[in-house]
């Protein structure tokens, strides 16, 4: 049975990779990049063998190992969504004895690229610690415990999270929570990283981490090398106990997943009226706009983008409050304009196959294109003047207001123009409706990056005139500020009209093909 589960995982991994050629190519590139990183890390670890004070090796391995362990616990949940390939709930209907299931799923989760990488790194630490006979004996055990702890912790967190996220409400609560954590990290981030760069702090950090659950296993061989046999063995014992506890916790969570494989949620009446559909003009454009406005509020995937768009410019503001009076706040409006315009370039993909409604009703391409822009156009009409004013007020360079606002407006309209064409031309995978909004669907890496780059470059190129004048104004030619605004006001709408026309043409020609692509993305 255990072998069956492992073979199943292997098969899933292989089939997942062989689904299509572009995916395979993307994977090869990602693989080469990853191999480079891995090779570098392993060379570093082997090099540490010869570092003269072994303290350097201890600090590097304990901090690195703790970070790795933390990553295993957290990243699968926030970055990739819960790993669905071997969702324990799917085994609910098979009478697999739980002991065997636990063992099978554990071994199966070792069959993955990250696990292989971690195991190789663990192996390299054995070389780092090959300074004494006893160390050579302890290091492999410690490395094995460390690697296994990584994998088990990731199982614990993913199984735990998927238990909560089995209902739609639980999932949405989770993404709200993650959003809060993200805001917290981005706000507190700068103040944390600053003291970290002061010398002497990393070894202290390593001392603390070495006794924390994250670093126990990684610090054990360091103690042995330093001759502190007692504390080394104690750490190893504690690390082993931790591994067992994590296994038991996972076993407990699995029981929940197997006994209640699908949660149910009862919907409540939201509103009995038409909502935005009652407020927008009753035309196809108004309908699309009302639908998008509703989605920006109700769909966690849109909420995440909304918060990110709001947050990034505020980060610029923060940097000026902590540092000296730099010019960064001036970039707030342009950055916001860019993000707002650019973020629409894959909007159709967020519809998923629900896009059939647009195809079936025969709504015109321009109505589909323009309606989608309404929510962000509304956001831009508030945010751009506010951020431009804020930026100028903080830096005291009021003469730049027309430039800052103009460049922002130019980016917004140029981004809209790009998006109107691109979103009809080529959708790329996004998290499915109701899925973890932070997850990135597998196998889309290459295409995603290329399309995002095209959208970004296009937006910048289309806005070059206003941008050039804006930079000129920043250099001190204050007359150019008004030039930037004038250029944005004249060229922006023209670009948008052209982009919408082109997007409309593309849409009218290949709406059914777009739908077919969307159903393939699933």
Partner 1 sequence: MSPGESSAALSLRGLCKSYGPTLAVDRLDLDVPRGSFFGLVGPNGAGKTTTLSMATGLLRPDAGTAHVLGHDVWSDTVHAKQLVGILPDGLRLFDRLTGLQLICYSGLLRGMGRTVVTDRAHELLGALGLEEAGGKLVVDYSAGMTKKISLACALIHAPRLLVLDEPFEAVDPVSASTIRQILEGYAASGGTVILSSHVMDLVQRVCDRVAIVAAGQIRAVGTLDEVRAGLTLEERFVDLVGGQTDLGEGLAWLRT
Distances (CA, A) of 175 to 130, 481, 501, 505: 45, 41, 37, 37
Query: 99 with 259: CB under 8 angstroms?
Result: no
Rounded to whole angstroms, the Cα distance separating 1 from 55 reads 46
| Closer residue to partner 1, CB minimum distance, 355 or 416 | 355
* Least gap, CB of 179 to partner 1 (angstroms): 17
* Least gap, CB of 442 to partner 1 (angstroms): 20
Q: Which long-range contacts (CB under 8 A, 24 or more apart) does 53-58 make?
A: 54/131, 54/222, 54/225, 54/226, 55/203, 57/128, 57/129, 57/222, 57/225, 58/203, 58/206, 58/210, 58/219, 58/222, 58/226
Rounded to whole angstroms, the Cα distance separating 207 from 222 reads 11
| Closer residue to partner 1, CB minimum distance, 290 or 444 | 290
| Closer residue to partner 1, CB minimum distance, 302 or 342 | 302
| Closer residue to partner 1, CB minimum distance, 251 or 508 | 508
User: Quick one: tokens of 190?
Assistant: 């700068």
| Closer residue to partner 1, CB minimum distance, 333 or 367 | 367
| Closer residue to partner 1, CB minimum distance, 406 or 503 | 503
Q: What is the dihedral of CA 338, 495, 301, 178, to 10 degrees?
A: 0
* Least gap, CB of 354 to partner 1 (angstroms): 4
Q: Which letter does DSSP use for residue 431 in this model?
A: P
| Closer residue to partner 1, CB minimum distance, 180 or 516 | 516
Distances (CA, A) of 294 to 10, 226, 277, 291: 42, 62, 9, 5
* Least gap, CB of 503 to partner 1 (angstroms): 18
Phi and psi torsions of 331, nearest 5°:
-80, -5
* Least gap, CB of 435 to partner 1 (angstroms): 12
Q: What angle do CA 372, 376, 381 make, to 5 degrees?
A: 135
User: Quick one: tokens of 463?
Assistant: 């806005």
Binding site for partner 1 (CB under 8 A): 168, 265-275, 277-278, 282-284, 286-288, 290-291, 294-295, 298-299, 351-354, 356-363, 367, 433-434, 512-513, 515-516, 519
Rounded to whole angstroms, the Cα distance separating 362 from 368 reads 10
* Least gap, CB of 507 to partner 1 (angstroms): 12
* Least gap, CB of 304 to partner 1 (angstroms): 14
* Least gap, CB of 434 to partner 1 (angstroms): 7
3-state SS track over 444-489:
CHHHHHHHHHHHHHHHHHHCHHHHHHHHHHHCCCCHHHHHHHHHHH
* Least gap, CB of 359 to partner 1 (angstroms): 6
């Amino acid at each position: 049975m255990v072998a069956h589960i492992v073979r199943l995982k292997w098969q899933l991994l292989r089939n997942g990779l062989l689904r299509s050629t572009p995916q395979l190519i993307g994977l090869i590139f990602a693989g080469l990049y990853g191999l480079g990183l891995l090779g570098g890390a392993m060379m570093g670890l082997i090099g540490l063998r010869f570092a003269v004070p072994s303290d350097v090796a201890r600090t590097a391995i304990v901090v690195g190992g703790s970070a790795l362990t933390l990553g295993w616990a957290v990243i699968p949940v926030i970055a990739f969504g819960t790993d669905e390939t071997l969702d324990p709930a799917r085994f609910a209907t098979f009478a697999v004895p739980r002991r065997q299931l636990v063992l099978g799923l554990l071994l199966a989760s070792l069959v993955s690229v990250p696990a292989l990488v971690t195991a190789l790194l663990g192996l390299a630490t054995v070389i780092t610690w090959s300074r004494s006979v006893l160390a050579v004996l302890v290091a492999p055990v410690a490395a094995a415990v460390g690697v296994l702890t990584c994998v088990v912790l990731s199982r614990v967190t993913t199984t735990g999270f998927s238990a909560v996220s089995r209902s739609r409400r639980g999932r949405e609560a989770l993404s709200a929570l993650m959003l809060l954590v993200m805001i917290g990290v981005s706000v507190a981030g700068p103040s944390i990283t600053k003291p970290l760069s002061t010398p002497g702090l990393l070894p202290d950090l390593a001392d603390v981490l070495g006794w924390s659950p994250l670093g126990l296993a990684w610090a054990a061989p360091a103690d042995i090398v330093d001759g502190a046999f007692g504390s080394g063995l104690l750490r190893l014992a504690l690390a082993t106990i931790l591994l067992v506890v994590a296994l038991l916790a996972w076993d407990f969570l699995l029981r929940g997943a197997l006994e209640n494989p699908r949660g149910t949620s009862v919907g409540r009446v939201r509103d009995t009226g038409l909502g935005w559909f009652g407020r927008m003009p009753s035309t196809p454009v108004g309908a699309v706009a009302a639908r998008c406005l509703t989605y920006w509020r109700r769909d966690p995937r849109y909420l995440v983008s909304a918060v990110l768009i709001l947050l990034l410019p505020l980060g610029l503001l923060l940097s000026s409050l902590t540092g000296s009076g730099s010019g960064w706040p001036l970039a707030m409006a342009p950055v916001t304009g860019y993000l707002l315009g650019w973020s629409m370039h894959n909007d159709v993909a967020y519809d998923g196959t629900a896009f059939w409604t647009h195809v079936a009703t025969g709504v015109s391409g321009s109505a589909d294109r323009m309606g989608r822009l309404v929510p962000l156009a509304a956001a831009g009409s508030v945010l751009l003047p506010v951020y431009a004013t804020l930026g100028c007020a903080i830096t005291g360079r009021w003469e730049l207001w027309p430039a800052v606002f103009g460049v922002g407006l130019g980016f917004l309209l140029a981004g809209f123009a790009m998006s109107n064409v691109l979103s009809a031309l080529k959708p790329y995978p996004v998290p499915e409706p109701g899925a973890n909004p932070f997850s990135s669907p597998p196998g889309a890496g290459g295409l995603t990056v290329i399309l995002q780059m095209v959208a970004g470059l296009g937006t910048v190129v289309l806005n070059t005139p206003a941008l050039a004048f804006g930079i000129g104004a920043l250099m001190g030619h204050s007359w150019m500020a008004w030039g930037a605004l004038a250029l944005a006001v004249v060229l922006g709408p023209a670009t948008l009209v052209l982009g919408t026309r082109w997007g409309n043409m593309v849409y009218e020609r290949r709406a059914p093909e777009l739908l077919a692509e969307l159903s393939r993305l699933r």
